[in-house]
Amino acid sequence: MGDQGRLPQDEDDESGRGVGRRRFLGYVLAGPTLMVAAQLGEAALAPTEAQAAVPSLPEPADLLDLTDLLTTAASPTSGLISIQLNTDGTASFALPRAEVGQGVTTSTAMLIAEELDIPLAQVRITLADARPELLFNQFTGASNTTVSTYTPIRVAAATARQRLLAAAAVRFGVPASTLTTAAGVVSSPNGQSATYGSLAAAAASQVTVQVGVVLKQQSDFEVIGTAQKRIDALDIVTGRKQFAMDLAVPNALPTMVCRPPTLNGTPLSVQNLAAVKAMPGVTDVVIIATGVAVRAATFGQCIDAVRALQVTWGPGTEDNSSDSTLLKELKAAELPLVVPPLNLLAQTVEATFTFAFASNSALEPNCAIADVRPGRAEVWAAVKAPIVAQGAIAAKLGLLQSAVTVHVVQGGGSFGRKLFADAALEAAEISQLMGKPVKLMWHRTDEFRQGRTHPMSISHVRATHALGQVLTFEQRHASVATDFSHGLGEVITSQVAKLPVGDIGFSETIFELTQQTPYNFGVTTQLLSEVDKGFNTGSMRGIYSPNVRCAQELIVDQLAAGVGQDPYQFRRQTLKDPRAIAVLDKVAQLGSWGRTMAPGTAQGIALHPEYHSVAAILVEIDCTAATTGRQIPDACTGPRVTKVICAVDAGLAVNPLGLQAQMMGGISDGIAVALTSGMHFENGVFQEGSWDNYFYTRQWNTPPDLQIVVMPPSSGTPGGAGELAVGAAMAAVACAYARATGTMPTSFPINQAAPLAFTPLPTTPPIPQSPVDGLTRAY
Amino acid sequence: MSAHTFILNGAPVSVDVEDDVRLLWVLRDVLGVTGPKYGCGLGVCQACTSHINGKAFNPCSVPVSAIQPTDEITTIEGLPATVGKPLHPMQEAWLDYDVAQCGYCQPGQIMAAVAKVREARAAGHEIGDADFDEIRNICRCGTYFRIREAITAGAKNF
């Protein structure tokens, strides 16, 4: 190699890719083997064009949705993401995002494999520690990861390939333009070849240099757009995949917290601290902000100690609230509609829908490992906003942010929960007080009783129509406040969201950027109001969309009936976006929309556009007595969705197999929030305390017939996918239920008003003892 | 503290721990076997599902003192050895259908699936929809449909 970083191809990319195409800026970083990088963040995506029949003005979310806000926010950062080429031929990349099951490690590996021409199995993806210099660019939320990293990761990989070609050209003594790459090998026309591993050192640079690169054209893709299985699947099925609680951090003993009997109560005193400290296995007991922490040799002994603690508790934040009082608050907070209910010139369709609190708890409970020493702290946790977590931990411990290391561990699900670092903050506080490393785990009952929830809300929709056309469509959504204190993943907006005056503006901004009415319904208005900040809330695989869109789609069915049209035909004639029409047509065709159904069963059809993607779902539901009366111990049976057809257009689907998985999960969530999954809040206490109280979809609720179609690419860039199916599925199930029973449901889940199907667990002690009769249930 | 011995994944183990500590914590906290996951500690979510003498059970709901020295405990880590292969056919099916999402519940799902197939056969039939509906394991990612597909396929190979 000549002068430091320079290889012949750095200035003039003729490396087997077309000339005259858009060039991107890559970096070759100084290092012993090839290290390449690109700037994270890219220009906003092109807006969706609105085509009006009875025209609606484009809504904010039509033009710029939350995904754009996140990618736009990303532009000014100086942080680079880098790929290292190793001498064994592998490429390593530390992804500044969280993997919580959504498959971003796999899709990221695919992007690198594509541009680098390297087998997928030779790409190693880890998760980056908190990197404050990345600012907005280390936040996993709003289905944004693939959207915002799609170009930068490919630029870095293309830079690497270009350097490898240049190094091979020097070695072979031939022009780089004559060389080709495939499966991690550079080849020349005269039969010479070199593996990437053998070129990794030669392609390295002693100084950091900028180079221009062009990317593969979409028509040349060999990996992107193909179905690829998860890169961590083997680790998962063998039990080798490590979650935070599986990590062996020296001396980080099991730790749990005795929590208050009402929501957000605080500990005042402990009567038997010494006696509990003397219990078998127990090493430490300390009072913390949220309760009393115990550390022991095993989690079983932590459970014993938590149950033995006698604590005097102060009041909680919502001791005098119940579902019924909150409903009154929400109704009082609802913003007025513009169009009057009675209109001489038009007919009115109107309803108010109530949506219960829902738990966004993952199967892996809140957990974290913390090792806090004088002057420094180290934390291991699945966090989607690690920079915010790092700042908050530093503030709590009285340390500099740079003295706190946050290792991002793969998470066992998130659904919005891991936007927050509740467990990491608690673990750090406990470790500091005890002066020892701790492995903190929340009990399942705590997850439901004290953990975050998707807030209760009401949605009031009023629409008018005349002469077969919809003239106005208004929606007022009133919700218990959603906590956006994670901001956009960095410290500045997370602080804004905490300000008493700042956050309704922030919430309204999020609402406006995410919520849209996909139909041409004339004058369309949507507004949000929020009440009550005493709850621990967060998004849940969607912020407002599942509830907002469910309410809309039920009214759409009413409007269709009002103008005498079929629900499918009515939708397709009023939809704004051809992509939405295409997915709707696909499910109607595959699902034989309109086929004759037996009494007590029906079809439902709905769609949901969000984050530059759109999904349509057709379901069939069975509401016959034989099905709703199924008896399964400690279960919620009820109506069963017997068939689901989903069609999804996510722009460019990087991994169709992973996209189908995301749709499948969203469908399970949509079925849950429509039919079975709701929390009951009474006098400061969530009644649910176990998975046999909170009825998330189980096998007996799962549709035995499910088909998910990924539409051909409709654009050159990927849209969001993680939250997309929930709104469409919830709405389709609700519409089908209305048609099967002849009554439009207005309270969700539909069984929410029925007597509790379980006996609530006691609140003192706060967690139940584990059973001892497990062997009697072996099968 | 007292000594407890049993057979874990084919090898005898001995642990010194209080009688009432549930087996899940003996496996995870004492022995460092982390395939079985905690999801509730109530015998509800089934994330810790493992086998005792070939039958599915929840170690979170069994005190270590209830385990006999001759009892054979198999966790996901020991499942392949029960068929003498690098992977059990059910694990292979899980890979073929790309079942897992976050993966947290999957060891328990696979252990439950193997036992459920055996249970159906003992009752004289191959596993089907009615049997799937009896599986109580929670998958909060909602990948239930692929679980059903994988069990159907995996059952054909053992």
Quote the CA–CA distance of A551 and A555 in Å, as a whole number. 6
Quote the CA–CA distance of A352 and A361 in Å, as a whole number. 27
Residues, chain A, total? 779
Min CA distance, A229 vs chain B (Å)? Answer: 6
Burial-class residue A31 by CB neighbours within 10 Å (0-12, 13-18, 19+).
middle
Mean pLDDT over A769-773 rounds to: 98
Reported confidence tier of residue A58, pLDDT bands at 50, 70, 90: very low
Check residue A428 and give its pLDDT: 98
* Residues 214-253 in A contacting B (C-alpha not used; CB under 8 Å): 229-230, 232-243, 245-246, 248
Check residue A135 and give its pLDDT: 63
Out of B29, B35, B102, closest to residue A239 by CB: B35
Out of A300, A664, A690, closest to residue B142 by CB: A664
Mean pLDDT over A745-760 rounds to: 96
Q: Is residue A622 predicted with pLDDT exceeding 50?
A: yes
ipTM score for this prediction: 0.98
Is there a single domain that holds both residue B99 and residue B149? yes
Domain count along chain B: 2
* A8-41+77-237 and A323-337+346-358+452-748 agree in CATH topology: yes
What's the Cα-to-Cα distance from A685 to each of A294, A318, A358, A481, A519, rounded to whole Å? 23, 8, 14, 18, 40
Nearest-by-CA chain B residue for A722: B141
Burial-class residue A413 by CB neighbours within 10 Å (0-12, 13-18, 19+).
buried
Reported confidence tier of residue A4, pLDDT bands at 50, 70, 90: low
Mean pLDDT over A52-70 rounds to: 48
Residue A286 structure tokens: 């300390």
Out of A236, A690, A699, closest to residue B132 by CB: A699
CB-based contact A779 B115, cutoff 8 Å: yes
Helices (H), B97-141: 106-122, 129-132
Mean pLDDT over A371-390 rounds to: 94
Q: Mutation test of the interface with chain A: which of B42, B44, B55, B83, choosing the one with the most A Cβ atoms within 10 A?
A: B42
Q: Is residue A78 predicted with pLDDT exceeding 70?
A: no
Is there a single domain that holds both residue B148 and residue B98? yes
Domain map (residue ranges) of chain A: 8-41+77-237, 244-317+366-441, 323-337+346-358+452-748
What's the Cα-to-Cα distance from B22 to each of A304, A307, A770, B63, rounded to whole Å? 11, 15, 8, 4
Full 3-state SS string of A416-440: CHHHCCHHHHHHHHHHHHHCCCEEE
Mean pLDDT over A603-622 rounds to: 96
Reported confidence tier of residue A52, pLDDT bands at 50, 70, 90: very low
Check residue A497 and give its pLDDT: 56
Out of B22, B25, B144, closest to residue A699 by CB: B144
B132 contacts in chain A (CB < 8 Å):
699, 702
> A157 at the B interface (CB within 8 A)?
no
Q: Which residues pair with A350 in a beta bridge?
A: A462
Greater model confidence, A427 or A719:
A427
Check residue A712 and give its pLDDT: 96
Out of A297, A413, A415, closest to residue B104 by CB: A413
* Stated pTM of the model: 0.93
Most confident of A137-146, A152-161, A453-462, A514-523: A453-462
Q: Is residue A369 predicted with pLDDT exceeding 80?
A: yes
Quote the CA–CA distance of A529 and A25 in Å, as a whole number. 44
Q: Which of A212, A770, A377 is nearest to B26 (CA)?
A: A770
CATH number at residue B36: 3.10.20.30
Residue A708 structure tokens: 């998910």
Reported confidence tier of residue A504, pLDDT bands at 50, 70, 90: low
| Backbone CA torsion sign across A359, A360, A362, A367 | negative
CB-based contact B95 A233, cutoff 8 Å: yes
Is there a single domain that holds both residue B34 and residue B20? yes
Question: Could you report the per-residue pLDDT of A593-606, keeping only the tens digit for each?
Answer: 999 999 999 999 99
Check residue A64 and give its pLDDT: 47
Q: What are phi and psi of A177, to 5 degrees?
A: -65, -15
B128 contacts in chain A (CB < 8 Å):
none
Check residue A5 and give its pLDDT: 58
- Structural domain ending residue among the three candidates B23, B50, B77: B77
Nearest-by-CA chain B residue for A360: B140
Q: Which of A509, A554, A249, A596 is nearest to A405 (CA)?
A: A249
Burial-class residue B21 by CB neighbours within 10 Å (0-12, 13-18, 19+).
buried
Q: Which of A47, A82, A493, A439 is nearest to B34 (CA)?
A: A439
Check residue B146 and give its pLDDT: 98
Q: Is residue A756 predicted with pLDDT exceeding 80?
A: yes
Q: Mutation test of the interface with chain A: which of B101, B110, B121, choosing the one with the most A Cβ atoms within 10 A?
A: B101
First-to-last C-alpha distance (Å) of chain A: 67
What's the Cα-to-Cα distance from A410 to each of A235, A269, B102, rounded to whole Å? 12, 37, 8
Q: Please tell me the least confidently modeled range out of A7-16, A40-49, A142-151, B2-11.
A: A40-49
Check residue A648 and give its pLDDT: 98
SS3 A112: helix
Topology of domain A323-337+346-358+452-748, per CATH? Aldehyde Oxidoreductase; domain 4 (3.30.365)
Peptide bond into A765 cis (omega under 30): yes
CB-based contact A389:A383 (threshold 8 Å): yes
Q: What are phi and psi of A501, to 5 degrees?
A: -95, -20
H-helix or E-strand spanning residue A507 = helix A502-514
Q: Is residue A441 predicted with pLDDT exceeding 90?
A: yes
Q: Is residue A576 predicted with pLDDT exceeding 60?
A: yes
Min CA distance, B77 vs chain A (Å)? Answer: 6
Residue A739 structure tokens: 């048609």
SS3 A246: helix
Q: Which residues pair with A253 in a beta bridge?
A: A438
Q: Is residue A6 predicted with pLDDT exceeding 80?
A: no
Quote the CA–CA distance of A239 and A223 in Å, as a whole number. 28
- Structural domain ending residue among the three candidates B45, B77, B109: B77
Place of tokens 């549930």: B22
Q: What secondary structure does DSSP assign to A165-218, as a single string? A: HHHHHHHHTS-GGG-EEETTEEE-TTS-EEEHHHHTTTT-BSS-EEEEEEPPPG
Mean pLDDT over A223-232 rounds to: 96
> Each residue of A686-707: b (16+ CB within 10 Å) or e?
bbbbbbbbbbbbbbbbbbbebb
Quote the CA–CA distance of A552 and A460 in Å, as a whole number. 9
> A307 at the B interface (CB within 8 A)?
no
CB-based contact A696 B140, cutoff 8 Å: yes
CB-based contact B103 A232, cutoff 8 Å: yes
Nearest-by-CA chain B residue for A255: B29
Out of A246, A669, A691, closest to residue B40 by CB: A691
* Local confidence pLDDT in tens for the 158 residues of chain B: 789 999 999 999 999 999 999 999 999 999 999 999 999 999 999 999 999 999 999 999 999 999 999 999 999 999 999 999 999 999 999 999 999 999 999 999 999 999 999 999 999 999 999 999 999 999 999 999 999 999 999 999 99
Q: Which residues pair with A536 in a beta bridge?
A: none
Quote the CA–CA distance of B112 and A599 in Å, as a whole number. 36
* Residues 700-739 in A contacting B (C-alpha not used; CB under 8 Å): 700, 702-704, 706
Quote the CA–CA distance of A201 and A199 in Å, as a whole number. 6
A244 contacts in chain B (CB < 8 Å):
none
SS3 B22: strand
Is there a single domain that holds both residue B86 and residue B63? no
CB-based contact B95 A229, cutoff 8 Å: yes
Return the CATH class of domain A244-317+366-441. Answer: alpha beta
Mean pLDDT over each residue of chain A, to the nearest integer: 89
Question: Could you report the per-residue pLDDT of A123-168, keeping only the tens digit for each?
Answer: 999 988 887 767 666 777 666 777 778 888 999 999 999 999 999 9
Min CA distance, A601 vs chain B (Å)? Answer: 20
Q: Which of A80, A94, A69 is nearest to A133 (CA)?
A: A80
Greater model confidence, A542 or A713:
A713
Which CATH architecture is the domain A8-41+77-237 placed in?
Answer: 2-Layer Sandwich (3.30)
Is there a single domain that holds both residue B9 and residue B48? yes
Tell me how many degrees the CA angle A701-A737-A573 measures, rounded to the nearest 5: 120
- Structural domain ending residue among the three candidates B57, B77, B97: B77
Question: Could you report the per-residue pLDDT of A631-679, keeping only the tens digit for each?
Answer: 999 999 999 999 999 999 999 999 999 999 999 999 999 999 999 999 9
Mean pLDDT over A499-508 rounds to: 58
Q: Is residue A738 predicted with pLDDT exceeding 60?
A: yes
Question: Could you report the per-residue pLDDT of B135-145, keeping only the tens digit for each?
Answer: 999 999 999 99
Residues, chain B, total? 158
Nearest-by-CA chain A residue for B75: A239
First-to-last C-alpha distance (Å) of chain B: 41
Q: Which of A420, A421, A358, A288 is nearest to A686 (CA)?
A: A358
Check residue A105 and give its pLDDT: 93
A304 contacts in chain B (CB < 8 Å):
20
Is there a single domain that holds both residue B86 and residue B70? no
Quote the CA–CA distance of B119 and B134 in Å, as a whole number. 11
Q: Is residue A44 predicted with pLDDT exceeding 70?
A: no
Check residue A146 and give its pLDDT: 75
Greater model confidence, A631 or A26:
A631
A254 contacts in chain B (CB < 8 Å):
25, 29
CB-based contact A298 B21, cutoff 8 Å: yes
Quote the CA–CA distance of A433 and A428 in Å, as a whole number. 9
CB-based contact B103 A236, cutoff 8 Å: yes
Reported confidence tier of residue A47, pLDDT bands at 50, 70, 90: very low
Burial-class residue A374 by CB neighbours within 10 Å (0-12, 13-18, 19+).
exposed
Quote the CA–CA distance of A287 and A595 in Å, as a whole number. 63
> Each residue of A611-649: b (16+ CB within 10 Å) or e?
bbbbbbbbbbbbbeeebeeeeeeebbbbbbbbbbbbbbb
- Strand extents, DSSP E, A660-739: 681-682, 685-686, 705-710
CATH number at residue B105: 1.10.150.120
Query: What number of other Cβ atoms are within 10 A of residue B14's Cβ?
Result: 9
What's the Cα-to-Cα distance from A486 to each of A360, A392, A550, rounded to whole Å? 16, 10, 26
Domain with B60, as residue range(s), is 2-77
> A363 at the B interface (CB within 8 A)?
yes
Q: Which residues pair with A469 in a beta bridge?
A: A466
DSSP 8-class letter at A651:
B
Nearest-by-CA chain A residue for B59: A774
Q: Please tell me the least confidently modeled range out of A75-84, A290-299, A467-476, A722-731.
A: A75-84
Check residue A59 and give its pLDDT: 52
Burial-class residue A275 by CB neighbours within 10 Å (0-12, 13-18, 19+).
middle
B57 contacts in chain A (CB < 8 Å):
774-775, 777-779
B75 contacts in chain A (CB < 8 Å):
239
